Amino acid sequence: MKGLVHETEGWIRSVRSQKEVLFLHVNDGSSLESLQVVADSSFDSRELAFGSSVEVQGQLVKSPSKKQNVELKAEKIEVVGSCDAKAFPFKYKERHPLEYLRQYPHLRCRTNVLGSVLRVRSEATAAIHSFFKPSSKIKVPEKNFFNIPVFLTVSGQLHLEVMSGAFTQVFTFGPTFRAENSQSRRHLAEFYMVEAEISFLESLQDLMQVMESLFKTTAMTVLSNCPKDVELCHKFLAPGQKDRLEHMLKNNFLIISYTEAVEILKQASQNFTFTPEWGADLHTEHEKYLVKHCGDIPVFVINYPLVLKPFYMRDNEDGPQHTVAAVDLLVPGVGELFGGSLREERYHLLEQRLARLGLTEAYQWYLDLRRFGSVPHGGFGMGFERYLQCILGIDNIKDVIPFPRFTHSCLL
């Protein structure tokens, strides 16, 4: 039977010889699935090695095997670039640990597992852009460098506030830099942050709704657009993660105040290295405990002490235990995923806080936003790599970004 004439290009993912025939799996990275190529004995099998790049022409026919619907009966195979299997760091059929793959940032994207993670990353990026589509025209402008010292941004928030003062609802999604001296599994020196800023926003409740919706909508889009990649990550990297993710998606996220959180932690203080105390930051161990305590459902912690938070967060004016309208979302496996707040839109209160910090002059432009047509507003930032860790169940942040840059390490 004659099939369809077909041409494919890609890298050989497996080679299996059987009697007079050679079976190759050729993958071009567009999905987890490889095309099975069947080559007869007229082809020189020595060149057709695992890792080589090839161009194959032949007939696309129905496959006799149940494993795939179609296969390509090769008529011509051209090795575009051969691959010395001995020197190639990945071996056919071996499942290399993620730590091992990390040593090869320039090659690891050719493995099934990193291929899947990065396709999920790409789908999630697109899903986030379409989540915010109505406001997608606005991006934070790039910095100029002509003879002027410039800095890497730690957040686009203040610039977004400028934009939300004209366009009402804005977002930005790009690289963000922090000189974190941390070897943790959830910190990078360069990470991607999704930030949104919304004008005419009256309450933390409204902000939390957007955060929860961004989390769930993105995950559901990814699940429906690349189910096989997600399944591979869950199966090989995080058994049980499919159920954990479903659990997060079908339940309403919980809300507790910082004060309640500290009470919960105090009841369990024997479990911690850092003693929980009102007025002190929550540590990763505390965050993880709170999420467990809440039944592995993401939990919003709101109304933090004013002393812990930056000057721009809105004062709750609530007496001796003085708090601000801040919100963090804590999620299973990761801890803090989002940080956000209502912003202080009242000129005199903001001015007092800036004056106490000696920043009034530097932030005159920021005060202007409150002098001229100020509106109640708020926003948040979500760490994109932590988001991928959370939905895929990946333990180390270095495995969800193509080129991880962190303390004293910038391999590529």
What is the contact surface with ligand 4AD in residues (CB under 6 A)?
Answer: 155, 157, 178, 180, 187-188, 191, 193, 195, 336-340, 379-381, 383, 385-386
Q: Which residues contact 260 (CB under 8 A, 6 or more apart)?
A: none
- Report in angstroms how near the CB of residue 208 gets to ligand 4AD at its nearest: 13
| 10, interface contact from Mg ion, ligand 4AD, none, CB < 5-8 Å by kind | none
- Which amino acid is present at 371? R
Q: Is 339 in the site for Mg ion (CB under 5 A)?
A: yes
Q: Is 335 in the site for Mg ion (CB under 5 A)?
A: no
- CA–centroid distance for 272 within its chain: 28
- Which amino acid is present at 390? C
| 161, interface contact from Mg ion, ligand 4AD, none, CB < 5-8 Å by kind | none
Nearer to ligand 4AD, 71 or 328 (CB): 328
Nearer to ligand 4AD, 38 or 211 (CB): 211
Nearer to ligand 4AD, 24 or 334 (CB): 334
- Report in angstroms how near the CB of residue 35 gets to ligand 4AD at its nearest: 37
Nearer to ligand 4AD, 173 or 338 (CB): 338
Plot region of 333 (φ>0 → left; ψ -120 to 50 → alpha; else → beta):
left
**Binding segment (CB under 5 A) for Mg ion, from list 11-19, 188-196, 333-341, 399-407:** 333-341
Closest CA to 245 of 122, 332, 329, 186: 332
| 340, interface contact from ligand 4AD, Mg ion, none, CB < 5-8 Å by kind | ligand 4AD
- CA–centroid distance for 123 within its chain: 11
Nearest residue relative to Mg ion (C-beta): 339
Report the largest interatomic distance among the alpha carbons of the chain, rounded to a whole angstrom: 85
- Report in angstroms how near the CB of residue 340 gets to Mg ion at its nearest: 9
Q: Within 10 Å of residue 401's Cβ, how many Cβ atoms?
A: 20
- Report in angstroms how near the CB of residue 330 gets to ligand 4AD at its nearest: 9
Q: List strands edge to edge, sheet with 254-257.
A: 169-177, 190-199, 377-383, 335-342, 323-331, 299-305, 254-257
Parallel/antiparallel/unpaired status of strands 299-305 and 323-331: antiparallel
3-state SS assignment for residue 191: strand
Nearer to Mg ion, 113 or 337 (CB): 337
x-or-dash string of contact with Mg ion, 228-247, rule CB under 5 A: --------------------
Nearer to ligand 4AD, 118 or 160 (CB): 160
| 384, interface contact from Mg ion, ligand 4AD, none, CB < 5-8 Å by kind | none
| 195, interface contact from ligand 4AD, Mg ion, none, CB < 5-8 Å by kind | ligand 4AD
3-state SS assignment for residue 239: coil
- Report in angstroms how near the CB of residue 174 gets to ligand 4AD at its nearest: 12
Nearer to ligand 4AD, 139 or 178 (CB): 178
Looking at the chain, the number of H-run helices and the number of E-run strands are: 11, 12
> What Cα–Cα distance (Å) separates residue 362 from each residue in 319, 348, 356?
29, 16, 13
3-state SS assignment for residue 149: coil
| 326, interface contact from Mg ion, ligand 4AD, none, CB < 5-8 Å by kind | none
Give the end-to-end CA distance of the chain in Å, rounded to a whole number.
Answer: 50
**Cα(251)–Cα(258) distance, integer angstroms:** 21
Nearer to ligand 4AD, 77 or 193 (CB): 193
Estimate the crossing angle of helix 227-237 against helix 112-131, to 10 degrees: 130
- Report in angstroms how near the CB of residue 309 gets to ligand 4AD at its nearest: 10
Dihedral over alpha carbons 233, 239, 243, 246 (to 10 degrees): -20
Nearer to Mg ion, 11 or 304 (CB): 304
Binding site for Mg ion (CB under 5 A): 339
